[in-house]
Amino acid sequence: MDFAFGPEDTAFRYEARGWLEDRLTGAFAGAAEAAGATEAVGAVGASGAVGASGAAGAVGAAGRDGRAGRDGQSGQGMRSGQDGQSGWPGQNGQGGQVGHGGGHGGGPGGGHPATPVRLAWERELGAAGWIGLGWDADHGNRRATLTQQVVWAEEYARAHAPARLGHIGEHLLAPTLIAHGDKEQQARHLPGIARGEEFWCQGYSEPGAGSDLASVRTTAVADGHRYRVTGQKIWTSLAREAHWCFVLARTEPGSTRHRGLSFLLVPMDQPGRIDVRPIRQMSGTSEFNEVFFDGAEAAGTVGGEGNGWRVAMGLLALERGVSTLAQQIGFEEELGRVVRAAAAGGALDHDPVLRDRLIRQWAELRTLRWNALRTLGRTGDPGAPSVAKLLWGGWHRRLGELAVQVRGAAAAAGPGPWSPSYELDALQRLFLFSRADTIYGGSDEIQRTIIAERVLGLPREPR
C-alpha cells in the first residue's frame, strides 16, 4: 500500500502524545516505569494485531513534526529509549498461543497481576476513546485511519505507557464479533471492552495441538441453549486476569481436523469447572497458564455450530498489522540497551566481529519495518504472516544471544548476591525468553511449510 503520514496524522500524533503526557503521571507513571524492563506494551493486536512497545530512530517512525526524516527515520538518528519494552506479537496465524512480551514479561499483562492501577488505566483509555480505534464505524469509540492507528501504537510505545490488559479483547475478540457475531453478542461484549472493563484470554493451543490447531481435542456438548466444555488449553496469556475466554472446541463427536469445530464464549468465573494453573518458565516468570475445563458452561457459539475453523482463521488474520510497527520500536529499544552494554564493557573497541553483528541487527531491523509497511493493510497474501514471523522471530532470538555475548563471562552471573529467588537482569531475561521466539506462535518449521505449500505450490507434507 501507499503508506505515508499526512497532515491529519500529524495532528493525531500531537493529540495522542499530549494526552499520554497529561495522563501518565502519578500512579500511572509508576506503573509504566515498573513495566519498562519486564513487560510488553500491548498497543494493538498480536501477530496481527501485535502488541507494542519511543518513537523511533532506527525503525523509522515519524518525527515530532510528523514528517519522516532522512531514509525514513525520525531525523533523530539511531537512538534507543530508556527502558526497552517489547512488542506482543500474538499468534502466527497457525494457532500457537503466544502472549509474548518481545522479551521479558510475556504478553499484555506479562507475569504481573492486574493491579488496581493498571485496571484504572484501562478504564482511563476507554473513557477517552482510545480503545477500539480499528473497529468499524458502528462500534467502538473514536474512529481512526490505518495510519492513525500506527501513530497511536507508536506514541503509546514512545510514552512507555503501562502494559495493556485489554489487548486480546480489543484487537482479537472484538473484530471477530463484529465480523461473525450476532447483534446480541456484540451488544453484550463490545461496550465493556471499549470501556476497558471486560478482559479476555484465548483458548486455542492444547498439549499436542499448538501450531497444528486443527488437532484440538477439547470438546463441547450441547446442553439446551448452551454448551458444556471439557478439555485443556495451554500457553494461555492473561487467563488469571480474564473475565472471558474464547475457546475453539470440537462440538461434533467423531469429527477430525478442521471439521466439527465451534468458536465458543466461556465466562472464566466458574469455580470447580475451570482451573487455571500458571506455568513457571526458565526465565523465572509465569506469564502463561494451563486452563482446565471440566463441564464449564459456554454462553454460545460465534458464527454458528461447526463454523469454528472459519471464525478462528478470521481471528488469526487480525493478528498482523498496525502494531507490528510499534513492536519494532520495542525491539529498537532493546537493541539500544545491548549496544550500551557492549560499549560499557569495551567490546566495541576490541571485537570487530561483534561490532559487525550489532550493525547487522540494526540493518535487519530497518528491513523488518519496511516489510511491515509493504504488507500493512494487505489481504489475501497467504505467505506474508509467515514471512513476518520468520523475520522477527529469528531477529529477536539473535538479539537475545547478543545480549549475553556482549557481556562475556559476566552474563552468567546474577545482578546481585546469590539468592534462591532466581534473580535475573533485563538482558538475561531477554536471552532466556527470546529462545522461544522461533517456536511459539507456530514454529519456524511450520512457517516454512506454509510458505512452501501455499505460496510456492510445493507438494503437501505427508500427514
Give yes or no for a contact between 321 and 48, defined as CB atoms under 8 angstroms apart: yes
- Phi, psi angle pair for 392, to nearest 5°: -75, -35
> Positive or negative CA dihedral for 412, 414, 418, 419?
negative
Question: What is the structure's pLDDT at 351?
Answer: 87
* DSSP per position, 78-125: S---SS--B------SS-------TTTT-SBTTTS---HHHHHHHHHH
* 306 CB-contact burial (10 Å; exposed 0-12 / middle 13-18 / buried 19+): middle
Overall pTM surpassing 0.75 (yes/no): no
The predicted structure's pLDDT at residue 125 = 94
pLDDT at position 207: 85
Tell me what pLDDT residue 323 has.
53
Active-site hit among 122, 170, 319, 333: 319
In this prediction, residue 357 carries a pLDDT of: 93
In this prediction, the residues of the chain whose per-residue pLDDT falls under 50 are: 35-112
pLDDT of residue 38: 36
Which SS3 state, helix, strand or coil, does residue 297 take?
Answer: strand
* Residue 317: per-residue pLDDT: 63
Mapped onto helix, strand or coil, the DSSP state of residue 405 is helix
List the alpha helices (DSSP H) in 106-173: 116-127, 146-158, 167-168
Contacts of 15 (CB under 8 A, 6+ apart): none
Q: Check residue 301 and report its DSSP letter.
A: B
Is the four-CA dihedral 90, 132, 378, 370 of positive or negative sign?
negative
Catalytic residue at 334? no
